[in-house]
Structure 1
Amino acid sequence: MENEGDKTTFMAVQMEKLVHHLETMRIAEYVELMERPARVIFLNFVAGISRGLGIAIGATLIFAIMLEFLRRLILLHIPGIGNFIAEVMHIVEMKNGKF
């Protein structure tokens, strides 16, 4: 009899741990989300737009900072480096159709 009581207590404790673990994983919210595919599509669409804008803005800022750095490096008139950077910038501007 005591053995059955211990097993029942053990099972109750294990079930409580399982329930707590599932609650921390937010399984119920995930299942609810999966039941509404339109919501999943909308969330993925918004996430994709956010990532795309973030990449575009980040790349623009990085390239603008690099370009400003190169222009300031040219103004220092360091032999060899200044001419090389000026040539690279001239090639880039030709490819972009500025010349």
Structure 2
Amino acid sequence: MADKSNSHTIETIGKKLDELAIQMERVQIADYIALLNKPRRLFFLNLMTGIARGIGIALGFTIFAATIIYFLQKLGALNLPIIGDYIAEIVKIVQAQLNVDASIR
């Protein structure tokens, strides 16, 4: 009876170890530890990630702002009584700021 209980316990421990090994492989813990042991590589990867994120944010905001300005210009062309004047003023301010920024460069 004790042998049966011990073998069942050993089987359970073996299954748990297999599950743990699979989970560790999924999270790639060995790659993470290797990365932590190479601080220069970690710095380089973080630098590249930061640069890529910054470029992505800049491009995304540029596209978003251009789309908003485009639609505001179209709304301004509709000559809506109060909204049209307000939108036209916003577009003038943005275009003036863009011209100032372009002349500085």
TM-score range, shorter chain: 0.7 to 0.9
Q: Distance in 1 between the 2:9 and 2:31 partners?
A: 32
For the residue of structure 2 that corresponds to 1:77, the secondary structure is coil
Relative to the length of structure 1, the TM-score reads: 0.84
Deviation at 1:44, TM superposition (A): 0.6
Q: Deviations over 1:17-41 (max 9, x none)?
A: 2112211221111111111111111
Q: Distance in 1 between the 2:93 and 2:25 partners?
A: 59
Partner of 2:75: 73
Relative contact order, higher structure (CA 8 A, sep 6+): 2
Decide which of 18, 21, 28 is 1:19's aligned counterpart: 21
Relative to the length of structure 2, the TM-score reads: 0.80
Deviation at 1:76, TM superposition (A): 1.2
Partner of 2:38: 36
Q: 1:2 to 1:64 in 2, by over 3 A?
A: same
Structure 2 unmatched ranges of 5 or more: none
Structure 1 unmatched ranges of 5 or more: none
Amino acid at match of 1:77: N
Length, aligned pairs only: 98
Larger proportion of helix:
2
Decide which of 57, 78, 92 is 2:59's aligned counterpart: 57
Q: CA RMSD in A?
A: 1.9
Amino acid at match of 1:48: G
